[in-house]
Amino acid sequence: MDLRGLWKSLKPYCAMVFLQFGFAGMFIISVASMKQGMSHYVLVVYRNAVAAAVIAPFALWFERKVRPKMTFSTFLKIMAMGLLEPVLDQNFYYMGTNNTNASFASALYNVLPAMTFVNAILLGMEKVHIKRRRSQAKVAGTIVTVVGALLMILYKGPFVEFFWNKGRTRHESDSSGTNARHWLMGVFMLLFSCFCWSAFFLVQSHTLKSYPAELSLTTLICIMGSAQSGAVA
């Protein structure tokens, strides 16, 4: 295989790794903004509006000849995706993070691939051939992520005291009972956020078959998401 073919086969995996770095940077900026007093409802509006403004020029230039015609069915799917990911997923994620903590929310979100895989099977979009190694790996990964998520939800270990937080662990332990209800509510918010993002992936995958213009579709989702989240805000 030549270098060109190798790069073509590795490009999707490199894109996913780069996407994770983007999520990390976005999360840092989001947490810093909310600590300064910004409402997460407003943050979602700005986030999607800026994303649409940045991606739109690339979509207009690179997909000007391949962009398919917009149909009413595609428009409804874009509205659904704008509701699922920008409005429901992002807002419930921020609310769940406020009720738990940042590290817990980031770790719990690892259940997203398993949830997407299960939903795809239920909807008939994914088939499992248990004798094939690929399907066995998917099933094993799903079980591991679900068990890990349940462990994080049900088990709360002891405090680890370092020199910079010495003396604060007892206060946090004493107030843990009053925060248990908020913590559980935050867990359900994060799980619902994962479900919405999972549903977004499935609708997006189906929409790309009839509207194979990734940049244009992303721009339209961000525009619709900023409009809908603006109404919520």
CB 31 within 8 A of CB 102: yes
Side chain identity, residue 194: C
Among the residue ranges 73-77, 119-123, 139-143, 145-149, the one predicted with the least confidence is: 145-149
**Residue whose tokens read 């800026």:** 50
208 pLDDT more than 50: yes
223 within domain boundaries: no
What is the predicted pLDDT for the residue at 104? 77
- At 131, give phi and psi (nearest 5°): -85, -10
31 pLDDT more than 80: no
41 within domain boundaries: no
225 within domain boundaries: no
The mean pLDDT value for 31-39 works out to 84
50 within domain boundaries: no
What is the predicted pLDDT for the residue at 225? 94
Of all residues in the chain, what percent carry a pLDDT higher than 70? 88
Q: How many domains does the chain have?
A: 1
What is the predicted pLDDT for the residue at 162? 63
What is the predicted pLDDT for the residue at 176? 52
26 within domain boundaries: no
Read off the pLDDT of residues 131-144 as tens digits, 9 standing for 90 and up. 888 888 888 888 88
The mean pLDDT value for 194-209 works out to 93
171 pLDDT more than 50: no
List the domain range (segments joined by +) for residue 83: 75-212
164 pLDDT more than 60: no
What is the predicted pLDDT for the residue at 125? 80
Alpha-carbon gap, residue 89 to 116, rounded angstroms: 14
Read off the pLDDT of residues 72-118 as tens digits, 9 standing for 90 and up. 999 999 999 999 999 999 999 989 888 887 777 777 887 888 888 88
Helices H / strands E in the chain, number of each: 10, 0
Among the residue ranges 31-45, 51-65, 69-83, 107-121, the one predicted with the least confidence is: 107-121
Task: For the chain, give the mean pLDDT.
Answer: 84
29 within domain boundaries: no
For 145, the token pair is 């992520």
CB 48 within 8 A of CB 86: yes
Concatenating the DSSP letter of every residue in 94-143 gives: HHHHHHS-HHHHHHHGGGHHHHHHHHHHHTTSS---TTSHHHHHHHHHHH
